[in-house]
Amino acid sequence: MTFQQLGNPMKFIHLQACVFVLFFCTIVSLSSAQAQTQGHSAYEGKRQQAMQLFEQGKRFEALPLLEELVQKNPKDDELLVALAASLVRHAATLTDQQAAAKERFRAKNLVQKALDFGNNSPLAQNLRQLLGAMPLNGAMQFSENPSVEQAMLAGEAAFSRRDFAEAIKSYAKALELEPKNYAAALFIGNTYHKQGDYVKAAEWYQHAIQLDPNVETAYRYYAEMLVKEGDMSKARTFFIHAAVAEPYNRMVWRDLIAWASINRTELNFKYAGLLSDPKVPKKNESLFDVKLFPQRPKDLSDAWQAYHVVRIVWKEGGKFTQHFPHEAGYRHSLAEEIEALTAEINALEKLEGDVETAEMVTENPSLLLLLNLHQAGVLEPYVLFRLADEDIGKDYPNYRSRNRGKLEQYLDKFVVPPAPSRTTEMLTAPAQQ
C-alpha cells in the first residue's frame, strides 16, 4: 500500500528532535568509498572529522566544517544530508524566526539535492518528509498561548546548545502553563533520553502517550531507546503501538524495517487473495479443457466474481449511499472491501471442498493467508494496513477507536516477526536528538 500522512498533528511540531541520526540506522560510514576517492588527504581528514562530530551529536561543531566541505564538493550527498540536519538544529537557536525559516528552507533544498544524487538513507527520507511538512512561512508553533510558545522556543534553543537542564526547565514551565501540551511532555522525555537517564525518559514518554495515544512519536522514541538498551522484544511492542497510532506515517515503517534488519528478519506484508481473474488464460494455456466433472468449476473464477459483484453493488447499486447517507459522493470504504472479501472467502471455502478445485486453494499461499486472516478475526486490520487507499484510510480513526487490540493483534501475529527479548550487541550511536 501507499502509506500517506493523514492529518498528523506532530509531523512538524518537533523537527529538530525527529531528524537526527536513528541510532540503529547507518546513515553515514566514516570509511565510505567517496571519502577515500578524494585525492586531497587534508580534505579526507577534515571530512572524517566533520562526520565524527555529526555522529556524536555535536552539530554546531560540525556545522562550519560541513559548510566548507560542501563548498569544495557540492555533490557529496552524505555531506549534504549532514549539513541539512545541522542547519535544522542551528535554526532552533535563532530568535529571529525569519532567519530560522530561511535556514530550514535551505536545509530542505540540500536534502532534495542529496536525494537527486541517489542518497536514500532513512535520515534523508525523514528530513524530506518533515521539511516537506513545513508551513509556508517555515515557522514552528507549539501553542497558541504566547507564554507557552515562549517557553517551548526557549527549551528548543537550550536543547540545541546542549544545555539540557535549562531545556527541561523550559519545557516543564510550558507544561505547567498548558498541562495537555504533548510536545512539552515528549521533549522532556527526549531530553532525559539524550542525557542517558532512561528511567525518567520512559516516564515522560509514557506521559506523552497518555496525553495523546494517537500520535506515534512518543511510542517510536521509546522503542528506539529500548533498542539502544538491547530490549528488542519490548521495542517491538512499542513500534507496533506506533504503527497503530499512525499507520500511514512513513517514518514509523522506516524505523520498524530498521528494527527488523537489526534482528536479521523482515516484515511480512504479503498480499492475501486473488490477484487476477482466474478465467483469463495464461500464455501457452489452452482456452478449453476437459473437466472430470463438467458440472463443477475447474478454476477459482467464482471467488473472483463474488468479490467484484459486491464492489459493483456498492459503487453502482446505491449501497454506499445507504451506509453513508451524509457523505457527498461514493468512495471506496472499509465496509465495502470487507463485504467483498467476505464474499470471496465464502466462495473459496466452497471451492476448497470441491475435489476439482481443492488443491488450487490449499496450495496457494495468498489464498490460505486470506482464509487465515478471516479465521483469526483480523480481516479489517489487514485491509486498513495492507490495502488502504486514501478513501479507506478515512475509516481508520473510527475503527482504531473501537478496535485498537485487533490492530495490534494483526501486526503481532501476521506482520512483525518475534525478536529476542534482549541482545548483547549494544548500540553506541546517540539518542534521537
- For residue range 203-221, list pLDDT tens digits in order: 999 999 999 999 999 999 9
Q: What is the pLDDT of residue 332?
A: 95
- The candidate with the shortest Cα–Cα distance to 85, out of 157, 153, 160, is 160
CA–CA separation, 214 and 252 (whole Å)? 13
Residue with the three cell numbers 545541522: 86
Which residues lie closer than 8 Å to 20 by C-beta, 6 or more apart?
A: 57, 59, 85, 89, 123, 430, 432, 433
> Same topology for domains 15-30+39-132 and 146-262, yes or no?
yes
Helix (H, G, I), strand (E, B) or coil at 162: coil
CA–CA separation, 232 and 235 (whole Å)? 5
What's the CA angle centered on 114, arms 432 and 228, to 5 degrees? 20
Question: Residue 432 pLDDT > 80, yes or no?
Answer: no
Listed by start position, the domains of the chain span 15-30+39-132, 146-262, 301-412
Looking from the CA of 221 toward its CB, the CA atoms found within 13 Å total 33
Which residues lie closer than 8 Å to 385 by C-beta, 6 or more apart?
A: 1, 243, 247, 269, 407, 410, 411, 415
Convert the pLDDT of each residue in 229-258 to its tens digit.
999 999 999 999 999 999 999 999 999 999
**How is residue 412 annotated by DSSP?**
I
Convert the pLDDT of each residue in 123-146 to its tens digit.
888 888 888 878 888 877 788 999
Tell me which architecture the domain covering 15-30+39-132 has in CATH.
Alpha Horseshoe (1.25)
Residue with the three cell numbers 555529526: 54
Share of the chain above pLDDT 70, in %: 83
Least confident of 15-29, 37-51, 64-78, 232-246: 15-29
Rounded average pLDDT over 286-295: 45
Convert the pLDDT of each residue in 349-388 to its tens digit.
999 999 989 999 999 999 999 999 999 999 999 999 999 9
Band (pLDDT 50/70/90 cuts) for residue 91 is confident
Q: What is the pLDDT of residue 421?
A: 58
Strands (E), 202-250: none
Helix (H, G, I), strand (E, B) or coil at 37: helix
**Burial of 49: CB neighbours in 10 Å, binned 0-12, 13-18, 19+:** middle
Do residues 251 and 222 touch, judged by C-beta distance below 8 A? Answer: no
Burial 380-399 (b: 16+ CB within 10 A, else e): bbbbbbbbbeeebbbbbeeb
pTM for the predicted model, two decimal places: 0.78
| 225: amino acid identity, one letter | M
Select, from the ranges 21-30, 285-294, 363-372, the one with the highest average predicted confidence (pLDDT).
363-372
For the domain with range 146-262, which CATH number is right: 3.40.50.300, 1.25.40.10, 1.10.287.110, 3.30.530.20? 1.25.40.10
